[in-house]
Amino acid sequence: MKLLVTGGAGFIGSAVVRHFVAQDDVEVVNVDKLTYAGNLESLEPVAHLRGYSFVQADICNTPAMQRVFRQHRPDAVLHLAAETHVDRSIDGAADFLHTNVQGTHVLLDTARAYWSELEEAQRKAFRFLHVSTDEVYGALGDDGAFTEGTAFAPNSPYAASKAAADHLVRAWHRTYGLPTVITNCSNNYGPYQFPEKLIPLMIISALEGRDLPVYGQGRNVRDWLYVDDHVEALERVLLAGRPGETYNIGGDAERRNLEVVQGLCRLLDELAPDTSGQSHAERIRFVTDRPGHDFRYAVDAGKLQSELGWRPRHDFEDGLRSTLAWYLENRDWWERVRDGSYQGERLGMGNME
């Protein structure tokens, strides 16, 4: 099987690539523009494998995408490339609309033209898996959970751009018959996550002796999923999901942001005690809340569990512990992100488009 993964140098995309390319019968072509969030060093464990290839390209570039499909002839697409950071989308939404909406459109059209010319058997087996977020559903109060039937009500520019992309993917199935599947997943955490996101931001700030900034009073609730559990869910959906369907993915691990940070501080006190003898929790600082900050997300992943038999394997506290252990053991990775040197080695590691 040959997979085209977009955004494979990002946090989840690199976990997808590492997972699939380790399988004997799978080849992966990773298409990534290498924005600030793309880091080829996250692929070092697999970059030498024969089944792996990399193309540096923008998904918004139609001729480049046409060349990728023509040259690599994928059996399936896992589309993860996106602008993903909510705060950046609030500062300016243009890149989000361009990549998440326009880029998804380019990929859908390119995939459709390619798919329509495949032999019958390959046409039937082809899948376009669009990886999306639970944020498209908006915010919840104290109760309830998002199901696949929950109406979209995105509140941030990021969420709105992903919702638009989800609608396009659905329409390309309904209108043209392209065998698409959509997944909407809750907050991921784990190794190789860019240090602007909550968990790595807190870990690295603590290790560098800086304050730990928490929005508002830290009361917002998120459901957390270990990234490898997400990858396994994507594999199930890719192999057995029904075209035209949406599957929610969640970790069944709702936590207030403050609980997450306090839990991390306890682990830090144990695994990386502060030299001053202070508890890391003493550096928690509440900062002005994000505008339009959704209060609570919770995902009902019952459809994925009952139809495809998926369950998350990582308990949140264990996952947090192994994530912290990874950041402690891989200082090089995040120090090179912090000082910008991870961007210096980009050229010469693949084809330029």
Residue ranges that bind ligand NAD, judged by CB under 6 A: 6-7, 9-13, 32-35, 37-38, 58-60, 80-84, 99, 103, 131-133, 162, 185, 187-188, 194
How do 2-6 and 76-79 pair as beta strands? Answer: parallel
CB of 122 to ligand NAD, least distance (A): 25
CB of 57 to ligand NAD, least distance (A): 7
128 closest CA partner among 156, 107, 113, 143 = 107
Helices (H), 151-256: 157-176, 198-207, 227-240
Question: What amino acid positions are annotated as catalytic residues?
Answer: 134-135, 158
Question: Which residue number, 188 or 305, has a Cβ lying nearer to ligand NAD?
Answer: 188
CB of 34 to ligand NAD, least distance (A): 5
152 closest CA partner among 140, 170, 171, 137 = 137
3-state SS assignment for residue 49: coil
| R_g of the chain computed on alpha carbons | 20
Report yes or no: 237 and 275 within 8 Å, Cβ to Cβ: no
C-alpha to C-alpha distance for 217 and 213, rounded to whole angstroms: 10
Residue nearest to ligand NAD (CB): 10
* Both structure tokens of 347: 């050229």
Question: Which residue number, 70 or 124, has a Cβ lying nearer to ligand NAD?
Answer: 70
Question: Which residue number, 189 or 280, has a Cβ lying nearer to ligand NAD?
Answer: 189
Report yes or no: 243 and 181 within 8 Å, Cβ to Cβ: yes
Question: Which residue number, 280 or 342, has a Cβ lying nearer to ligand NAD?
Answer: 342
CB of 274 to ligand NAD, least distance (A): 28
